[in-house]
A = this chain, B = another copy of it.
Amino acid sequence: MPERDLQYLTELAAQLRVDSVRAAAEAGSGHPTSSMSAADLMAVLFACHLRYDFEHPGNPANDHLIFSKGHASPLLYALLKAAGAIDDKELLTFRKRGSRLEGHPTPRLPWVDVATGSLGQGLPVGVGVAMAGRLERLPYRVWVLCGDSELAEGSIWEAAEHAGSEGLANLTAIVDVNRLGQRGPTRHGWDTGAYARRFGAFGWHTIEIDGHDPGQIDYALGDARNTRRRPTVILAKTRKGEGALEVENREGAHGKPLKEPDKAVEELGGYREARVEVHEPDEAPAPYRFEGGPMSLPAYEVGDKVATRAAFGEALAALGAARGDVVALDGEVADSTKAEAFAKEFPERFFEMYIAEQQLVAAAVGLQVRGWVPYAATFAAFLTRAYDFIRMAGVSRASIRLVGSHAGVSIGEDGPSQMGLEDLAMLRAVYGSTVLYPCDANQAAALTAEMADIDGVSYLRTTRGSTPVIYPPGERFPVGGSRVLRQSHEDRATIVAAGVTVHEALAAADELRDAGVPVGVIDLYSVKPVDIAALAEAATTTGNLITVEDHRMEGGLGDAVMDAVSELGPRVVKLAVTGLPASATPEEQLALARIDRHAIADAVKRLL
């Protein structure tokens, strides 16, 4: 590398440090030292290797850069300034109310694909973006800046396994091994060999360098670009707070502005206004998309018994035929979730993520970055494994579709470890989420198709066992709607159910009607948003609501109903799972949990 270039890169890195220090000083908080350690790495990446058109962040040929160590946001924003994407005035709005430059990066910035800040997530999401690049046959590269602390997260090794085994050569992890975590030294300190052995064992090309030497960095990034059939990890030994004596390589200097920022800026050579001309990408072919066709959802005959999970699988396959942008992923249980129906028809758009639910969800997030419409399925119970990823998908405004099968005690003999009993609570609490819970096969098919167009995180809850088909094929079930299944002017209460309990509610209503107690039944298939109007009408006409759900008492259907009608003041009785189930048949489980037809009828009688 010519002397002139080296000098420029050193200057650029110094400016990135200066601007990181300035931004945090102005904000009065932030992570300047975690930014300073990675400044040389990013300076060389931007100046020499990144291919990105900052004026057109949607250019499909653009590389993708993910700050997995999201707390190094000052560095990212300093880079955006150097690249001319933002100006110095905006840089100094860092962490202020209304600023796009949040404490941790979010996609409010058009150059940011996903929100980071919960460590160990950027790399798994980067795997998803790299999978998308392969799928759409684009030559872009995915660069992920990781911290060394976050390599302790298991999700990093799920990503390492998937990328290594799939040979995602378009993915490069750049690890800023600055030796210091938040509260002290990391487990492996500067032992880059410890990390290299681990990544190497997972099939990665590994490069260990001095992360403050532009020549070594340039070589490593070039080596990564030229490596075939394997992802590359660059393990760069750095010093946290590099360049400012007050903080350089010192403990206790994490996540706070410098005490003497002006002095540090001076040490770093003062304020600069260097620009970096990031190479625009070569013109790339149009992203490959699979062909679509007419939509032909499966149709089930009223009265037949079909599991909603089976209808989901068949509907997903139908959706795959209709839309070339739909992709599916599963956590090694596609024969149970029934995503296998899609996998058989469209193997090139199906991703077996094995039993790694965090990577399953992260891959879905990564695929949607590039406009794909992902459905990710596993047991409802095991989606709890990925809750932090689902939460962050909400923060990323990512549009992903999650499908959880084997919901509730009604799975039967397998016992509580396999029962999704917290999933409604978990998914309802996610920002911008939609939660759907069909009770029959035609409804499940319709909702599966509808999810393709839902923004944000959406969730379909399916049932293991077969349930009677009660709706004719072709009916519509809009998000936020409900269905009144029993209603009369004499109704003395209204039962609100969803999924498997709809059938119990119908049986209870029939039993009660025969006993001279007419009650209404609402199928609340849209658990979030709920049909406030229909619930309000029931609340005001009968004044008595009984909710029944195959889920824990907290945070599910019953809470959603109460929330909808709370200002109207009806009496609401919730039936839900309170104890700890063990093994039993599905029918026994419903009875033992007191959410079957008899328990519902009893509850109505007690209430009246």
- A positions within 8 Å CB-CB of B: 27, 29-30, 70, 94-99, 101-104, 106, 108, 115-120, 149-150, 152-158, 161, 165, 181-183, 186-187, 197-198, 200-202, 332-336, 340, 354-359, 381-382, 384-385, 387-388, 391-392, 394-395, 397, 412-418, 421-422, 425-426, 428-432, 528, 552-556, 558-560, 562-563, 566-574, 579-580, 582-585, 588, 592, 607
Contacts and interface: CB of A to CB of B under 8 A. Distances in A.
B425 A117 contact: no
Given A417-B115, A583-B103, A187 B528 contact: no
Counting chain B CB atoms within 10 Å of each CB, the highest count among A70, A336, A355, A528 belongs to A355
Contact of A425 (B336, B384, B426, B568): B426
B183 A335 contact: yes
Given A187-B161, A355-B152, A106 B562 contact: no
Given A119-B355, A429-B555, 15 more contacts: A94-B583, A97-B585, A99-B583, A101-B583, A104-B418, A118-B382, A149-B332, A149-B354, A153-B385, A181-B332, A187-B354, A384-B391, A431-B552, A566-B574, A567-B607
Contacts of A607: 567
Counting chain B CB atoms within 10 Å of each CB, the highest count among A336, A414, A430 belongs to A414
Sorted from nearest, which 3 A-B pairs have the closest CB atoms? A154-B154, A117-B417, A555-B555
A463 to B, nearest CB: 17
B97 A355 contact: no
Given A104-B414, A154-B358, A388-B382, A583 B95 contact: yes
A340 B333 CA distance: 42
A220 B200 CA distance: 26
Contacts of A392: 417
A217 B156 CA distance: 32
Instruction: Count identical subunits in the complex.
Output: 2
Given A70-B417, A562-B563, A554 B428 contact: yes
Contacts of A394: 580
Contact of A415 (B103, B391, B422): B103
A202 to B, nearest CB: 6
Contacts of A421: 429, 431
A480 to B, nearest CB: 15
A347 to B, nearest CB: 12
25 contacts: A95-B413, A95-B583, A97-B585, A97-B588, A99-B583, A103-B413, A106-B582, A117-B415, A118-B382, A149-B354, A153-B355, A153-B357, A154-B154, A154-B157, A165-B187, A198-B198, A381-B388, A391-B422, A426-B429, A428-B554, A429-B555, A430-B552, A431-B552, A559-B559, A562-B562
Given A387-B426, A422-B430, A582-B108, A102 B202 contact: no
Contacts of A417: 70, 103-104, 106, 115-118, 392, 395
Contacts of A197: 201
Contact of A104 (B186, B358, B415, B584): B415
A183 to B, nearest CB: 4
A495 to B, nearest CB: 15
B554 A528 contact: yes
Contacts of A165: 187
A395 B413 contact: no
Nearest to A417: B117
Contact of A563 (B119, B201, B432, B559): B559
Contacts of A592: 97
A438 B584 CA distance: 40
A555 B527 CA distance: 13
Nearest to A183: B335
Contacts of A102: 415, 582-583
